[in-house]
Structure 1
Amino acid sequence: MNMTERSFRFDVDPTLVNPNAEDNAKRLMTYLCDIYGKRTLTGQQIGVLSAPEMTIIREVTGHYPAVYGFDFMNYSPSRTERGSTCSDTDIAIDWWNGGGIVTFCWHWNAPKDLLDIPPERSWSRGFYTEATSFDVKKAMDDPDSEEYRLILRDIDAIAVQLRRLQTAGVPVLWRPLHEASGGWFWWGARGAEPCVRLWKLMYDRMTNLHKLNHLIWVWNGQHADWYPGDEYVDIIGEDIYPPKKNYDSQYERFQAALSYTGRKKIVALTENGPLPDPDLMLADGALWSWSCTWYGDFVYVTDDEGNRTYSGEYTEREQLIKFYRHPFTLTKDELPDLKNYPIR
């Protein structure tokens, strides 16, 4: 790819799909578009019950990632009614106020019909198709059904947390209904059509009813048939888990993501195991907007005394250091003041 082709491909209009988007969301989107194809943001997901990943990465690389990945999982009503608690919203507010970027996914525990057959099909794994008999097609086909009403209840519960973030001025890279085409989550278990309707319902309810204007909508369906349309998607994400210590740029998946629409959209590596090598990314033109390494074993090991240290099982220590210190990557300390970044 020559420089002219590269410049064209990565020249994305920062206009958000929500015409009432707040300035902080516009500022973040403008920044993402300004650096797209020129730099890539480092990112890290934290665990649900503990979050040692950030400290460990800082100890190894000397830097914090630019993007912090959170999960609304334990705010799901079918989990909170069983005693689950969560502080991700509070941590996210602190992260933004400290100069970082926030992204949220939602491992949406099914609203009802949890099989609760431990261990693989227990209620705590209720976002997996194998752990629930909840039927998303039945819900979407009948707005008068209990299933549909519970869908709305759950969306409204997460809207409460998103409202807290909006009130605090935090723009959110919002990635719901992820990996839908895989079918392993209940929202994708009945095919593309009900899932696309669910995406549009969530967008409409959060945007037009709840007036959540700080969201940048990151679609992560991973197949063209599941794409809800350009008017519902700001950014396209791919989740990729190559074999251990495989640092390929994932060019083929990058190209696949570009093919989901005829419009130019930012493409991000929204989940990863091993990190891609930035030199290979540059050589191949697979210039992901950001990456977000998954948590736990992908980052650390725990010894018999409970001490946690960097693992190197998936991304070797020197490769992690290379990624975080490479001229192409950006860490938290290199971010501009996004609260005052110029909008275009």
Structure 2
Amino acid sequence: MQKNYEDAIHNGSRFQAEPKLINANATDNAKRLMAYLCDIYGRRILAGQQIGVNTMPEIDMIYEQTGKRPAVCGFDFMNDSPSRVERGTVGQDTDLAIQWGKDGGIVTFCWHWNAPKELIDQAPDRFWHSGFYTNATTFDLEQAMNDPSSEAYRLLIRDIDAISGLLKRLQDEDIPVLWRPLHEASGAWFWWGAKGPEPCIKLWKLMYERMTHYHRLNHLIWVWNGQHRDWYPGDEYVDIIGEDVYGPARDYSSQAERFNTAISYSTEADKIVALSENGPIPDPDQLVQDGIPWAWFCTWYGDFIWKKDQDRIVYSEEYTEAFMLNKMYNHPYVITKELLPDLRSYRLEE
């Protein structure tokens, strides 16, 4: 049966990508993960799940419903943003991610980056803990990027360095990371997108150069998630394209239009495209029928998976009904954690 699914969706060279990372000094395990992603691209999809910050009830809920676990687990450096840490937050996602990687799972990280300074901190929706939103800060990225001698620019470096230290812990454990910073920039609801494409692209390149060449973080696979071609920093700065899609509740379509938009962002190279965030999960049969080969999906946390029923946490069918969750996690087109190969010994490209 599996061969039939592979034949149905694989469509010549359209969905072939070269397993070459933009960082020439990438670690062997990062190369292995990229080789694996390229090998399955257009043939299988990886099941993925974002966890709630510091906790993982989503993983337990999925296992309770399906008997399987996601292959990809999404984490967030939100509470590690220095402007949050100085207000008392304690990030735990690094430890959780290290354990997930040691247990054979694939790690992806985003960063709801609290603005480095100038948090408005006013009711009802502009509190400091919402400081990654444009409406909760007056931090001006354009001014910061135009003046490397400014305090604002120095604070950007400070924050990048702080997160680099945490990413270094994963590198020390030889765990590659699908790294997805500055996500959804073109929406402008986050401060890193509020001033348009140019300063955001500058920040992306600054982060890449600082993390790659200064901190020598060679285990990162760079997932760009800007959601609009004008924000694309260039093929030499992107390994994988991510697209975040939140369709209507119980909409199990393949999101073909959004996939086809995403593959157009790359200027020359054939880049893998992933459904880096989603609300309802797509129907795997629909993915095959439409020939839409998202590399992985990563359902958002909280209400998209669970709800409280008195004093218990139970599965929520508000966005994805239980039958569809089970269909996805037990479908021959879908790779769960249980089906992953040993990615530490996966073949290396010559």
Aligning the two structures, in what range does the TM-score lie when normalised by the shorter sequence? Answer: over 0.9
Mapped to 1, the partners of 2:334 and 2:343 lie a distance apart of 17
* 5+ residue gaps, structure 2: 1-6
Aligned partner of 2:303 in structure 1 is 297
Q: How far has the Cα of 1:86 moved from its partner?
A: 1.2
Work out whether residues 9 and 42 of structure 2, in 8 Å CA contact, stay in contact via their aligned partners in 1. Answer: no
Listed as ranges, the matches of 1:43-192 within 5 Å are 43-192=48-197
Q: How far has the Cα of 1:285 moved from its partner?
A: 1.2
Q: How far has the Cα of 1:108 moved from its partner?
A: 0.2
1:280 and 2:276 are equivalent in the alignment: no
Which of residues 36, 40, 59 in structure 2 aligns to 1:35?
Answer: 40
Aligned partner of 2:275 in structure 1 is 269
* 5+ residue gaps, structure 1: none
Aligned residues: CA RMSD: 1.1
Mapped to 1, the partners of 2:118 and 2:179 lie a distance apart of 26
Runs of 4+ in 1 over 2 A off after TM superposition: 2-5
Write the letter of the residue equivalent to 1:34: D
Mapped to 2, the partners of 1:17 and 1:281 lie a distance apart of 29
Aligned partner of 2:249 in structure 1 is 244
Mapped to 1, the partners of 2:299 and 2:123 lie a distance apart of 28
Work out whether residues 9 and 288 of structure 2, in 8 Å CA contact, stay in contact via their aligned partners in 1. Answer: no
Aligned partner of 2:3 in structure 1 is none
**TM-score normalised by structure 1 residue count:** 0.98
Q: How far has the Cα of 1:51 moved from its partner?
A: 2.0
SS state at 1:211 partner: coil
SS state at 2:107 partner: strand
Write the letter of the residue equivalent to 2:15: F
SS state at 2:11 partner: helix
Mapped to 2, the partners of 1:249 and 1:279 lie a distance apart of 9
Query: Aligned in 2, Cα 1:98/1:294: closer, same or farther, shift over 3 Å?
Result: same
Q: How far has the Cα of 1:119 moved from its partner?
A: 3.3
Mapped to 1, the partners of 2:54 and 2:210 lie a distance apart of 29
Write the letter of the residue equivalent to 1:118: A
Aligned length: 342
Write the letter of the residue equivalent to 1:81: E
SS state at 1:149 partner: helix
Q: How far has the Cα of 1:270 moved from its partner?
A: 0.2
Cα deviation 1:241-286 (Å, max 9, x = unaligned): 0000000100000000110123200000000000011111111111
Aligned partner of 2:211 in structure 1 is 206
Q: How far has the Cα of 1:3 moved from its partner?
A: 6.9
Which of residues 218, 221, 232 in structure 2 aligns to 1:216?
Answer: 221
Query: Aligned in 2, Cα 1:69/1:4: closer, same or farther, shift over 3 Å?
Result: closer
Aligned partner of 1:326 in structure 2 is 331
SS state at 1:173 partner: strand
Write the letter of the residue equivalent to 2:202: R
Cα deviation 1:78-129 (Å, max 9, x = unaligned): 0000000011111111111111000000000000000001331000000000
**TM-score normalised by structure 2 residue count:** 0.96
Work out whether residues 219 and 235 of structure 1, in 8 Å CA contact, stay in contact via their aligned partners in 2. Answer: yes
